[in-house]
Structure 1
Amino acid sequence: MSQSHFDRLERMYLSANVNAMIFDTTTIKIEDGSAQIGLTIHEKYFHALGAIHGSVYFKLLDDAAFFATNSVVTDVFVLTKSFEIHFRRPVDSGVLRAVGLLKKSTENSFIAESELLNEDGKVVAHGSGEFVKSKVKLTPKIGYK
């Protein structure tokens, strides 16, 4: 894989409408078979009990595993076929880091895992999923530029 592929994926992630709308303080670093996403916690991510909503955990974990997978797929966009998460502890402040790693791949199917860590390096959630190749080419039209 090439650094230019990783750079294009990073720009695609950061320019996605959903990320611009929801996450205003996100970082991403993609390497061969891995991805790290950082997010500074704000109250706008909280549920009624004053900690981040499960949807934030899911998005960060899925995105990290997804981009770890797409790091090794250079022609098409991959899709999440299934993803399971396990919550360990609530988070109400600081910076979170999602770390995704590609674990297994076949011709069209990939298994990736991810962990969500707080500022102290403690795992607050983890997940794993299956990803498959789509028919959507990686092009500037979808932000891959």
Structure 2
Amino acid sequence: MSNSEHFRKLERMSAAEPMNGTIPASMKVGDGTAEVVVQVRPEFHHCARAVHGAVYFKALDDAAYFAASSAIEDMLLVTVSFTVYFTRPVSQGEMKARGRLVHQSRRLLVAEAELLDSAGRIVARGSGTFMESRTPLSPQIGYC
């Protein structure tokens, strides 16, 4: 399988995940990279009318996760740990997370992500550690 075919399958897997019904996002996967775009909706707001941290986390985790997943063509990864640093609130527009794979060993992968607002300002950063699960990448989990 070519890298680009693997990347498109990962994008389709992301689009098919049930959580995207709650927080819709588009995904673009490349070689050690991934980009997630979320259009801010009022239902994403907390009581102060800014986007809830859960939406930040999902965008950052997905960007880092799929950047790491771009390097593994046979097994589903799982998130072992993820740290988020919030730096600025967002109330409207688009949020774009850009992830990149920064380290890969025999058992673990480390990826980082930045989340930007519509003006291109960094509003959060995150880093995660991922490892292979026992679940193979297959059409049953949307990898097709």
TM-score, structure 2 normalization: 0.97
Superposed, 1:1-145 pairs within 5 Å as 2-20=3-21, 22-24=22-24, 26-145=25-144
Secondary structure in structure 2 of the residue aligned to 1:18: helix
Name the aligned partner's letter for residue 63 of structure 1. D
Which of structure 1's runs of 4+ aligned residues deviate more than 3 A? none
Q: Which secondary structure does the structure 2 equivalent of 1:64 belong to?
A: helix
Q: CA-to-partner distance for each residue in 1:38-73, whole Å, 9 max, x for gaps? A: 011010100000000000001110010000000010
**Residue-by-residue CA offset, 1:89-125 (whole Å, 9 max, x unaligned):** 1000000100000000101201100000011110000
Q: Secondary structure at the match of 1:12?
A: helix
C-alpha offsets along residues 11-57 of structure 1, whole Å, 9 cap, x if unaligned? 0001111112x123x21100010000001101010000000000000
2:58 maps to a residue whose letter is K
Aligned residues: 143
Quick one: which amino acid aligns to residue 76 of structure 1?
Answer: M
- Which letter does structure 1 place at the counterpart of 2:108? S
CA distance in 2, matches of 1:18, 1:40: 15
Q: CA RMSD of the aligned region, Å?
A: 0.8
Counting aligned pairs with the same residue, the percent is 40
d(CA) in 2 for partners of 1:133, 1:23:
25
User: Aligned partners of 1:57, 1:16: CA distance in 2, in Å?
Assistant: 17
Structure 1: runs of 5 or more not aligned: none
TM-score by length of 1: 0.96
How many Å separate the matches in 2 of 1:68 and 1:104?
Answer: 11
SS in 1 for 2:29: strand
